Structure 1
Amino acid sequence: MPNPNTPEDPVADPAALLRDMVRIRCVEEELADLYRDEQQMRTPVHFSIGQEAAAVGVCAALRADDLVYTGHRSHAAYLAKGGDLDGMVAELYGKETGCSNGRGGSVHLTDRAVGFAGSAAILGEMISVATGAAWGLAMQGSSQVVVTFFGDGASEEGVFHESLNFAAVHRVPVVFVCENNAYSISSPLAARQPENSATTGITERSRAYGVAAERVDGNDVLAVHEATLRATAHCRSGQGPYVLELDTYRWREHVGPGYDTGIDRPEAEVEDWLVRCPVRRSTAALLADVPDIEERLARWDEEFRDETRLAVTAAKAAPFPAVARLTDGAYGRPAGAS
């Protein structure tokens, strides 16, 4: 059973949640512009601009030693869990100082020091990895919880259902976080799954395995945070896994810095979701209690864009991996081996 002698789950300050979302927004917007204009980041990039509330709300509810695994859209969760910005930016530039030593790029981020266990590009891959990691921790009597982020497209992979079933049978302390942005690349959810189904939606299918599941407004950072606290309490008490389906929307194209409005997605649909911006909503909710919140936003915007530019400058000055060491850590070859 989990060790009860652990700190309480964190309950975040709403202004701090907003600040974290603004940081992610600023970082990704700066990187998107540089990616497009400079053509120096030779890695596919999947931005979470518009989806910040999901990563921030979830990660703010986790303890320092809880673990996070993600798929290809990894920047937001990495930063929300406390990942090193310099390491992430250097990784995008393929430099030795990157968080994966320049060998993984945007889709293979890791920062073990803060519990960001890793990300990977294969659709649904980290769902099973997170489930196994959580099972191992539970067998050791740990109270740690493991979280895995994935999209609605990954919920249609067999690994999602196999992992859910395994986690339910063994009461694995894993939180499955589906960032449902309604698209699998350019294929809308309504074309892939029965729309508004009471029995075959992602949440409903999860419950069919006997797993606790709830659907949450993924652009409401407080709602996400509170739901995650319920999910982690459920896991830590030995009741098994929990599924959070977070309805949200990415503003940029599936992969890359541009927009696909009017190409892959209807203009009216995109405009409707832009109005539901998580940063804007959180700001409006705080106006009554934090009268200077808009002034803070302006300061944060400047601070985080400057922080990103400094990280970019450092990344550009850093060395590329030496050719003789490019395979360090690959296929069982230890780092530094000759």
Structure 2
Amino acid sequence: MRDPLLDLDRSEALRLLHEMVRIRRFEERCVELYSAERIRGFLHLYIGEEAVAAGAMGALRPTDAVVATYREHGHALARGVGAPSIMAEMFGVVEGCSRGRGGSMHLFDASTRFYGGNAIVAGGLPLAVGLALADRMSGRDGVTACFFGEGAVAEGEFHEAMNLAALWSLPVLFCCENNLYAMGTALERSESETDLALKASGYGVTAWAVDGMDVLACAAAARRAVDTVRGGGGPVFLEFRTYRFRAHSMYDPELYRSKEEVERWRERDPIDLFTARLAAAGLLEPGDLDRIEDEVVAEIDEAVRFAEAGTPEPVEDLTKDVYRRAV
């Protein structure tokens, strides 16, 4: 198979590396802020899975829609939601992308067509089908990319969404981020068929598996899938086989997997692997990585300053945007 590095120009290579480093460092800063009790509530980290968001998001147009899960910081950043807006949301201030009401699990930004941040497992799947149906009925050629974990495959919403998308040939790209553990439940303990691409194909949906630790493989698969969907080929299901290096959430004691397993997967760190490949191919020059790190740190520092200067929502606005049925 032809090495995709041969078709990669230097600017695109550095963009992908920058995006992955940006996602990683943003989340590492969030860990520090959470430990200092500046960020409260739940916090689900994407560390280890950056290649999926960084690779896949580049295949989408600004007019396409994106739906994600509660582990969505990386998706939001890669989609173009501003780091200051996201960090402010983490801090729970009104300058946040959800006016401080959503927090880590409910990032939302209509201007980039980023529709969550959905805290309910599989909750974004029906939404993605609805967005795709709206594009179809409005005559738009948009694609809706729906990111979800493998735990969602066990939920009824997954099967309903897959069935309708296939039945109506809707323009949905289903991006399953299979990190092997739905919270603390191993895939083989919840699914009789662990080949999720094969499972999805049972609905008549084009599906294949991708190395989710390889950013170029993720990018190539996403481009092929988006071209198929946008060209009228119906929905596509991609199983990104990846791994999260951190626990399910900051509250998770992580008793369901061994440290040795985590360390084995850390040897396939997507950032380290891509950096080494770029250096070997002559696409990474001395000083490139240091420059990227400096740019990312400066951006995150500014995002933290923006969030720290944010405005808490007035108590009198507590019931604003809360609807009740008239009696």
Question: Is TM (by shorter chain) over 0.5?
Answer: yes
- Aligned CA distance change for structure 1 residues 180 and 64 (closer, same or farther; 3 Å): same
Aligned match of 2:3: none
> Quick one: which of 74, 77, 94 aligns to 2:75?
77
**Is 1:247 equivalent to 2:256 in the alignment?**
no
The answer to whether the Cα contact below 8 Å between 1:35 and 1:257 also exists between their aligned partners in 2 is no
The aligned amino acid for 1:29 is E
- Taking the TM superposition and a 5 Å limit, the aligned residue runs for 1:40-59 are 40-59=38-57
CA distance in 2, matches of 1:230, 1:259: 39
Question: What percent of counterpart residues are identical?
Answer: 40
One-letter amino acid of the structure 1 residue matched with residue 214 of structure 2: D
Residue correspondence of structure 1 range 60-75 to structure 2 within 5 A: 60-75=58-73
Report if aligned partners of 1:193, 1:201 keep a CA contact under 8 Å in 2: no
Counterpart among 104, 108, 111 of residue 110 in structure 1: 108
Structure 2 residue aligned with 1:222, among 216, 222, 225?
216
- Please, which of 181, 198, 201 is the counterpart of residue 195 of structure 2? 201
Counterpart of 2:33?
A: 34
Query: 322-331 or 273-282: which moved more?
Result: 322-331
What TM-score, normalized to structure 2? Answer: 0.92
Alignment CA distance shift 1:276-1:257 (3 Å): farther
1:43 touches 1:92 (CA, 8 Å); kept in 2?
no
8 Å CA contact 2:169, 2:235 repeated in 1 = yes
* CA apart distance, 1:288: 3.2
For residues 183 and 286 of structure 2, the distance between their equivalents in structure 1, rounded to whole angstroms, comes to 34
Secondary structure at the counterpart of residue 99 of structure 1: coil
Question: Are 1:283 and 1:294, in contact at CA under 8 Å, matched by a contact in 2?
Answer: no
Output the CA distance in 2 between the equivalents of 1:112 and 1:83. 10
Q: How many angstroms apart in 2 are the aligned matches of 1:297 and 1:127?
A: 37
Residue correspondences, number: 316
Question: In the aligned structure 1, how far is the partner of 2:73 from the partner of 2:108?
Answer: 10
1:12-34, Cα deviation, whole Å (9 max, x unpaired): 81221111101111111111122
In 2, Cα distance between the equivalents of 1:46 and 1:175?
A: 23
Among 288, 293, 299, the alignment partner of 2:291 is 299
Distance of aligned partners of 1:212 and 1:116 in 2 relative to their CA distance in 1, 3 Å threshold? same
| Residue 303 (structure 1) shift | 2.1
1:133 to 131, 134, 143: 131
Supply the distance in 1 between the matched residues of 2:131 and 2:237 (Cα, whole angstroms): 17
Tell me the distance in 2 between the aligned counterparts of 1:58 and 1:72.
Answer: 18
Deviation at 1:302, TM superposition (A): 2.4
Q: For the structure 1 residues 149 and 332, does the alpha-carbon distance in structure 2 shift closer, same or farther, using more than 3 Å as the test?
A: farther
The change in CA–CA distance for 1:184 and 1:216 in structure 2 (over 3 A counts) is: same
- Could you tell me which of 256, 260, 263 is aligned with 1:271? 263
Matches of 2:113 and 2:84, distance apart in 1: 17
State which drifts further: 40-49 or 251-260.
251-260
SS at match of 1:320: coil
Answer yes or no: is the 8 Å Cα contact 1:49–1:250 preserved in 2.
yes
Q: CA 1:65/1:169 → structure 2, altered by over 3 Å: closer, same or farther?
A: same
Which secondary structure does the structure 2 equivalent of 1:92 belong to? helix
Q: Structure 2: state its 5+ residue gaps.
A: 1-8
| Partner secondary structure for residue 256 of structure 2 | coil
Please say if residues 217 and 223 of structure 1, whose CA atoms lie closer than 8 Å, have aligned partners that are also in contact. yes
* 3-state SS of 1:116 partner: coil
Structure 1 unaligned spans of 5+: 1-10, 334-338
Which residue in 2 is equivalent to 1:8?
Answer: none
Contact 1:181–1:247, Cα closer than 8 Å, also in 2: yes
For 1:14 and 1:306, locate their aligned partners in 2 and report how far apart those are by CA, in whole Å: 21
Paired amino acid for 2:21: V
